Amino acid sequence: MAETKKTTKKASTAKKAEKKDIFAVIELAGTQLKVREGKEYEVNKLSGNKGDKIDVKEVLLISDGKDVKVGKPYVEDAKVSLEITSQKKDAKVEVFKYKAKARYRRSYGHRPSITRVLVKKIS
């Protein structure tokens, strides 16, 4: 029988150490959202147009990979800068009501409005 060699790739620990794990938990549009710099998120509709900038001061938690700051209820002097990238409607939400043995069936749906935001800076 011939022996086969298995080659495995080793993940470099240098890349993992150099990548910072900075994130924040903010309160936006009636929900709490865990955000990272440079990522986009879809939230309930916010007032504003494409390209508008928003500063969120309702920051509940900030982590820079080493130190974690938790607010009571908000972290003092903390701010997350967002930019609105689009205003659109989400996929259709279909609602169906049904009552057994009563010949009652109702179907309706709606498309909720959403805002797509880009996280510019966490400070």
Give pLDDT tens digits along the chain (123 positions).
556 555 555 555 544 544 568 999 999 999 999 999 999 999 999 999 999 999 999 999 999 989 999 999 999 999 999 999 999 999 999 999 999 999 999 999 999 999 999 999 999
Q: Is residue 89 part of a domain?
A: yes
| pTM higher than 0.85 | no
pLDDT at 65: 86
Looking at the structure of the chain, the number of domains it has is 1
Residue 57: give the domain boundaries: 20-122
DSSP the chain: ----PPP-PPPPHHHHHHS---EEEEEETTEEEEE-TT-EEEEE--SS-TT-EEEE--EEEEE-SS-EEE-SSS-TT--EEEEEEEEEE-PPEEEEEEETTTTEEEEEEE--EEEEEEEEEE-
Tokens of 47: 């007032």
